[in-house]
Structure 1
Amino acid sequence: MKVYVLTAFAKDGAKLLEESFGAMTEAEAKQRGEEILQQNDITQTYRCTSSSGKLILFHA
């Protein structure tokens, strides 16, 4: 299982969310990241990266 980190930012650059979670595949990580964003009602800038630095989700 790989570790992924989801981070969301406010327009002023303040960190709104930083959450780590595990997933077996990138598709599973993308789905889990989208669920976390919906649960926290986040539509601002966000990114989700793998432990190797690969960008899985991004919105500016």
Structure 2
Amino acid sequence: MQKYTLTVYEKDGSKCLEESFDAANDQEGKTMGENKLKENNYDAHTSRVTSESGKLVHFHR
């Protein structure tokens, strides 16, 4: 398992959510991050999911 971090930003650049979670691989990390965005009604916000190695697995602007 790898640790992934979901970060969500407001339009002014301030963070409104930063949450870490574990996933088996990058695809699962991306899917879990996107699901968390929908659950928290942040799917229209700028967001990213990164792996603990620094790889960007999701970005939405």
TM-score bracket, shorter-length normalisation: over 0.9
Could you list the runs of 5+ residues in structure 2 that have no partner in the other structure?
none
Cα drift, residue 55 of structure 1: 0.2
Matched residue, 2:38: 38
What stretches of structure 1 of length at least 5 have no aligned partner? none
- Find runs of 4+ consecutive structure 1 residues off by over 6 angstroms: none
Count residues with an aligned counterpart.
Answer: 60
**Within 5 Å, which residues of 2 pair with 1:1-60?**
1-42=1-42, 43-60=44-61
Query: For the residues of structure 2 that align with 1:41 and 1:22, how far apart are their CA atoms?
Result: 21
Q: State TM-score, norm by structure 1.
A: 0.95
Aligned-pair distance for 1:27? 1.0
Match of 1:16, SS state, is: strand
Q: CA deviation at 1:48?
A: 0.4
- In the alignment, residue 60 of structure 2 is paired with which amino acid? H
Superposed CA RMSD: 0.6
Summarize deviations over 1:1-56 as a string: whole Å, max 9, x none. Answer: 10000000000111111000000111111110011000011111000000010000
What TM-score comes out, normalization by structure 2 length? 0.94
